[in-house]
Amino acid sequence: MNRLQSLREAGVSIWLDTLSRELLDSGDFARLIADCAVTGATSNPTIFAKAITGSDRYDDQLRAAIAAGIRTPRDLFFELALEDVQRAADLLRPVYDDSDGRDGFVSFECTPDLADDGEATIDQALELWGRLARPNVMIKVPA
């Protein structure tokens, strides 16, 4: 048993503070769940900006989104990032189910430009929740 697994056995929830297509495609995210007792992951616009601009793994999906008529930077960002959040949530779903919903979450953040507009933040959070359509996703609200 490694140290992370020991912490997990002691009741500590281990969250990964990153998420990317590379982490998902390589199988590393699944291995971290299985071998290192990772029970959750956090993401935010900054994490995804680094992942998207630092990799060509998003290029095909980006081209397809543009061809489908998605044009605004925000909509393109959501098109790319939400797929990764859904994939991570699916990989963490057994953790969520086995813990009766105490663990196994992925977090995704509303865009910070809405932080001063409570109603718009709530609207975006509800839209994101609906689009992600996973019970083990948390929508973070910047403050």
Please tell me the CATH code under which domain 3-140 is placed. Answer: 3.20.20.70
125 pLDDT tier (thresholds 50, 70, 90): very high
Q: DSSP code of 17?
A: S
Helices 73-98, 59-67: crossing angle, 10 deg rounding: 120
pTM of the model: 0.91
Tell me: the pLDDT tens digits for 33-74?
999 999 999 998 888 989 999 999 999 999 999 999 999 999
Question: Is 140 designated active site?
Answer: yes
**Nearest CA to 105 among 10, 15, 36?**
15
Domain boundaries, the chain: 3-140
The residue annotated as part of the active site, out of 4, 18, 140, 142, is 140
d(CA 49, CA 68): 22
